[in-house]
Structure 1
Amino acid sequence: MILGKRPDAERFLTRPNEGFNGAQVRAALIYGRDLGVVRERGQQLAAKIAKDPNDPFDVAQLTDGDLDADGGRLEGELAAQSLMGGRRLVRLRFSSDKASLDKLAAEALTRHAAGELNPEAFLIVEAGNLGRDSALRKAAEKAEGAAAIPCYEDEPGDVARQVREALARDNLSLSNEALQLFVARMPKERGVARQEIERLALYLDPGSGALATPADLEGFLGVEPEASLSDAAADAFGGRLADAQAGLRRAAQEGEGGPAAVRALGLHLGRLRRALTLAKNGAGMQEAAKAAGVFWKQEREFLRQARSWSLEELDRIQPQILEADRQCKSAGAPDQLIAERLALTVAGRARRLGL
């Protein structure tokens, strides 16, 4: 069944054990272009199903790579019983374009939703922007025992609400004019947007009770990652690997580590996505670039990149940026190497796009 309306989706995510319209739901497909929202909703649902979503005994975490290596792996995990007596949860992060894997996941979801495997287990599939021809999406929409939850990019009103609520928790607020200004400059990716809100809260001094005006935000909106990182991100998306690596190493010497480098790459992707989305909806590309917060001196290079990158290509790169960010935050991780490998991946993709 399709839970396309936000109230329906939120009700199910909050109380999944109640099912929907009288049907017991055993599987949920959460998908969409904004993987930050997909991951957030997947985690929210997992926390309602399992006491500990990271428990290796009751929770199995798979990727499409696991399905590619072993076609029966997903059904096997769904048929297995819990080792510790809790409710079994199987989580699949699906990002493959292979029709064979799409079909394999669809067949497993259909069987499980019908109760043919372990009927007490629950399946969560987190996927990207599945098209209407996706067998997995069709299966989730058709099965009574499954919920298909599309995740759309946040509208400006949604972003404004998130900003107000997040700042209020730190006893901070923005005037209407400042809020509009900040929202207009926000990246569309929810994960990156949350980082920007957190950064703004720190800038305004948490707990100070500040009510910020546009003038108060001038310094913040002008703040970018170190110039070397900003340049490195632009070089990577422009296909200039050597320049990108030099910029990353220069930034490292200036004290900017791997997490900041990955964040800079994510911010650049967010600007490209916002500009391309605005252009797709009818805006001129120069107007879209300005709305995405591109500095005028960088506009020519940004527009060159925007003519080659597409929303679909950005979708392919985004999971790797999110994964690099996660790896960088792990204790003892070689974050500088992770950032350089990510820059290599982005630059390589850019070169294949003709940049």
Structure 2
Amino acid sequence: MKIDARSADRFAAKPYPDIRAVLVYGPDDGLVKERADTLTASVVEDPRDPFRVAELSVGALKDDPARLIDEVAAMAFGGGRRVVRLRSSEDSLAPLFASFLADPPGGDTLVVLEAGDLPPRSKLRGLFEKEKSSAALPCYRDEEGTLESLIRETFAQAGYRATPEAIAFLRDHLGTNRLMTRQELEKLMLYKGPVEDGHSSIDMDDVLACVGDSAHLTLDDLSFAVGDGDLAQVERSLTKAFAEGLHAVPLLRAVSGHFIRLQTARGHLDQGQSSDQAVAKLRPPVFFKTKDRFKRQLGRWGAVALGTAINRLLDAEMDCKRTGAPSEMITSRALFELTARAPKSRGGRG
């Protein structure tokens, strides 16, 4: 059974009673885990109960496929429904689950599989979408509207009120990984203190004080430093990013995104609009504290230079994927090269 992305949360909270196995998959691993946890909680009160929740690995099933049936058929000590969880699922499991779904054992145990971004041609995904006793639950990255709703709902459920400015900043900077988003929001609420002590209002000062060192702001610092031609800041930002465990490709894509926004605004500028008008058209909007800095870069970087920079970043990303050279070295070289070539004079009207 194929579950629509818009119905995924509702299904995870209350799966259909005739469903024996659910495949939770998608590019947002944080959301995959969250929905798998929700499915487990729909069956078991305590997900840490070893008698009612069993964890299996792909390797264990490859070595002994019969373990799946054994775990599904097992009775819980003390009674109650059981959940069998399987992480890092892959297409190699398709034949095993085809056999399982064709003739499942008796009982009401729910099997929950977690997987990455399975393509439409995936055998495992196709199986779970086709069979009536199984469901495929997609987990796509939060879009702007979904992310803003999540932020508002999280604050409201805990009794906090955030200013529109704070919500807009969080929406534009928290990124698209559901788990990381929730962690940052929980950190912010912990920073504010208990609602009952009069700390229910969250404003920009709170957000900047608490979320200001997040990975996404590190990426903003790096992107602006490259555009400014600030080699020292680029080096500091790269060192911090790599120390925080950020990978090369997301770094390159973040800087590419910054230059693509400059290129978009540059197009408006070259059509005769003012820099204020050109920047105002961008979505999501440029953060007010960096708007002047963005406009200065817009004035210096011409269309040709922006196109060359974007192509250089795309080439670096491809090099990270297809060459044997260390990706951190490729990324650093490309960013230092762009930074050194950053225009120092105005490239057009502002």
Short-chain TM bin: 0.5 to 0.7
Aligned residue identity for 1:80: A
Change in Cα spacing, 1:285 to 1:49, as seen in structure 2 (3 Å) is: farther
Aligned residue identity for 1:265: G
Q: CA deviation at 1:151?
A: 0.7
Aligned residue identity for 1:275: A
Task: Determine if contact 1:271/1:292 at 8 Å carries over to the other structure.
Answer: no
Aligned residue identity for 1:156: E
Equivalent in the alignment of 2:30? 36
Which residue of 120, 128, 132 corresponds with 2:116? 128
Change in Cα spacing, 1:216 to 1:148, as seen in structure 2 (3 Å) is: closer
Which residue of 119, 125, 129 corresponds with 1:141? 129
Q: CA deviation at 1:223?
A: 4.0
Which residue of 233, 245, 248 corresponds with 1:265? 245
Task: Determine if contact 2:252/2:313 at 8 Å carries over to the other structure.
Answer: no
Structure 1 CA distance for aligned equivalents of residues 105 and 211 of structure 2: 53
Structure 1 CA distance for aligned equivalents of residues 99 and 254 of structure 2: 41
Equivalent in the alignment of 1:112? 100
Question: How far does the alpha carbon of each residue in 1:199-226 deviate from its partner, in whole angstroms, 9 at most, with x for none?
Answer: 222343442345444456444454459x
Identical counterparts, % of pairs:
30
Equivalent in the alignment of 1:195? 183
Structure 2 CA distance for aligned equivalents of residues 86 and 200 of structure 1: 38
Structure 1 CA distance for aligned equivalents of residues 286 and 120 of structure 2: 29
Question: How far does the alpha carbon of each residue in 1:164-196 deviate from its partner, in whole angstroms, 9 at most, with x for none?
Answer: 222234443222222112211112211111121
Task: Determine if contact 1:177/1:213 at 8 Å carries over to the other structure.
Answer: yes
Task: Determine if contact 1:27/1:109 at 8 Å carries over to the other structure.
Answer: no
Structure 1 CA distance for aligned equivalents of residues 161 and 314 of structure 2: 34
Aligned residue identity for 1:72: P
Change in Cα spacing, 1:33 to 1:291, as seen in structure 2 (3 Å) is: farther
Aligned residue identity for 1:197: L
Alignment: residue pair count = 275
Structure 2 CA distance for aligned equivalents of residues 82 and 352 of structure 1: 54
Equivalent in the alignment of 1:54? 48
Which residue of 223, 235, 254 corresponds with 1:275? 254
Q: CA deviation at 1:160?
A: 1.6
SS in 2 for 1:108: helix
In structure 2, runs of 5+ residues without a counterpart are 223-234, 266-281, 294-309, 334-350
Which residue of 132, 147, 151 corresponds with 2:139? 151
Structure 2 CA distance for aligned equivalents of residues 232 and 72 of structure 1: 50
Aligned residue identity for 2:190: L
Normalising by structure 2, we get a TM-score of: 0.62
Equivalent in the alignment of 2:169? 181
Task: Select the structure of larger CA radius of gyration.
Answer: 2
SS in 2 for 1:49: coil
Task: Determine if contact 2:13/2:42 at 8 Å carries over to the other structure.
Answer: yes
Q: CA deviation at 1:161?
A: 2.0
Aligned residue identity for 1:111: S
Structure 1 CA distance for aligned equivalents of residues 314 and 96 of structure 2: 39
Change in Cα spacing, 1:50 to 1:110, as seen in structure 2 (3 Å) is: farther
Equivalent in the alignment of 1:11? 10
Structure 2 CA distance for aligned equivalents of residues 309 and 28 of structure 1: 35
Structure 2 CA distance for aligned equivalents of residues 38 and 5 of structure 1: 12
Change in Cα spacing, 1:91 to 1:269, as seen in structure 2 (3 Å) is: farther
Normalising by structure 1, we get a TM-score of: 0.61
Structure 2 CA distance for aligned equivalents of residues 195 and 273 of structure 1: 24
Question: How far does the alpha carbon of each residue in 1:77-103 deviate from its partner, in whole angstroms, 9 at most, with x for none?
Answer: 45532252433321110255xxxxx23
Equivalent in the alignment of 1:82? 75
Change in Cα spacing, 1:64 to 1:178, as seen in structure 2 (3 Å) is: same
SS in 2 for 1:130: coil
Change in Cα spacing, 1:198 to 1:79, as seen in structure 2 (3 Å) is: closer
Task: Determine if contact 1:141/1:147 at 8 Å carries over to the other structure.
Answer: yes
Structure 2 CA distance for aligned equivalents of residues 64 and 308 of structure 1: 34
Change in Cα spacing, 1:217 to 1:353, as seen in structure 2 (3 Å) is: closer
Task: Determine if contact 1:187/1:270 at 8 Å carries over to the other structure.
Answer: no
Q: CA deviation at 1:136?
A: 0.6
Aligned residue identity for 2:143: E
Aligned residue identity for 2:30: G
Q: CA deviation at 1:271?
A: 6.2
In structure 1, runs of 5+ residues without a counterpart are 97-101, 239-243, 245-263, 297-302, 314-346
